[in-house]
Amino acid sequence: MRPPILRRLFRRVASAAALGLLAATLSTTAAATPAAAAGGLQQVTGFGSNPGNLQMYAYTPAGLPANAPLVVALHGCTQTASAYYTNSGWPKFADTWGFSVVFPQTTSANNSLSCFGWFDPAEDTRGKGEAASIVQMVEYAKQQYGSDGRRVYVTGLSAGGGMTADLLAAYPDVFAGGSVASGLPAQCATSQAAASGCQTGPQKLSPAQWGDKVRAANPGYSGPWPRVAIWQGTSDYTVYPANATALRDQWTDVWGIGQTPSSTDTLPGNTTRSVYDDASGNPAVETYSVSGMGHGLPVSPGTGDQQCGTTAAYFLSVICSTYYTGVFWGLDGGTPGGGGDQLPAPGGVRATGTTDTTVSLSWNAVQGAASYAVYRNGSKIASPTATTYTDTGLTAGTAYRYTVAAVDSAGTAGTASTQVTATTTGGGSTPATCYTATNYAQVTAGRAHTSGGYVYANGSNQNMGLYNVFVTHTLRESPAGYFVIADSGCATG
């Protein structure tokens, strides 16, 4: 028989255990309401149709170049984007290594405990609900921050970890890697009633059965698969350690590798790392078992290179999981998953010609390249073997951003080139339009974007100053989607 307080709570949330943090929720006073932006954390609106009714917060270091990686960080139940920004350590390494971080936030309007819906097919499957909203945030970052679509990663704690696994399964074409902290295997539950069983001990399925749940999330997809890190405390009685085993079985099976580690070693904080290599000998899956740790994200406050974060509710002072996760993904400049050096970026990338519907590109050859990957606005569009490519089916009078990476014989793409912007011809019959507004309003209207607290005009990327309501500029749009500062006078003809 449940005590009255638990009976009321279970009726209120339709099985609070299914939300992934019941025990922890009853022992904390952490706020479950939306948080105001803190420090460099900025709220972003208008990022898409937002079917999951989420809020988007982002941190982009000042001076970040185009084609930088992107990390999506998902908070746990009763937490906020601001708390995850403040305590997880991700801003430190965003500054050190150079990448943007998006912090999605759900609220009590979606779920009474502010949990992501990792157990709800209407929220955690491809094209649905919260999962679709998060992918819209990724697309916004690619368009507005110039984030590299090949290097998008997702991480999360507890319910955020469960949603991370679901996102990796539903969108392996979007996320190059993931990190699940005290979380659940992908599609462990498809209803609230089944979720509590996952939390305290998931089904005893074979690796192939766990892997089938991933394969069924995006039928027909055959790879490449995301590289997955799994963090788990051995004394976690909220999300039991059996979930880490299920996650390992699931993702090693997806990769087609065994469940016997290729290597193990000991890290700070009584942490055992087990590495599972892919066919090329590079780590595809890594598990981090933290002896004696309860439910939470491992952090290690301090100023050392391998330290990060702040101790708080569910941020436990043991080891900086963010550092090791970032290295595993290659955010420190190494090869994702470890291994040898990447091919260098092609030089001399340039637009050699444009029409109203095409852009022709060329670049210098890279020794050792079997092919090249061409990216438009952060998304891969072609894999030519030659050093030229013509992009077709474009819109007249529109600016497009391109980068190129060399691909080796194993199919591994190297470092992306510097970005080149090309504008298709045509569209000249439409008169230019001028807009005078504050920097904040220009961003809100989609005519400019932010980076590191500053505002830049879309298309021309001209610096407009600080992101606030006190700075006003006139922007001239011509062609469509391409804006330039025109404070000294704006001819509209």
Which are the catalytic amino acids?
158
The H-or-E segment that residue 446 falls in is none
**77/313 Cα distance (integer angstroms):** 11
3-class secondary-structure state, position 35: coil
**b vs e for 27-55, b when ≥16 Cβ sit within 10 Å of the residue's Cβ?**
eeebebebbebeebbbbbeebbebbbebb
Q: What share of the chain is helix, strand, coil (3-state, %, to 5)?
A: 25, 25, 50
Picking from 207, 116, 204, the residue whose alpha carbon sits closest to that of residue 167 is: 116
User: Backbone phi, then psi, for 189, in 5-degree steps?
Assistant: -130, 145
| Cα gap 113→26, rounded to integer Å | 11
Put residue 152 in one of left, alpha, beta given phi > 0 → left and psi -120 to 50 → alpha.
beta
> How far is Cα 343 from Cα 331, in angstroms, rounded to an integer?
16
What's phi and psi for 130, nearest 5 deg? -60, -40
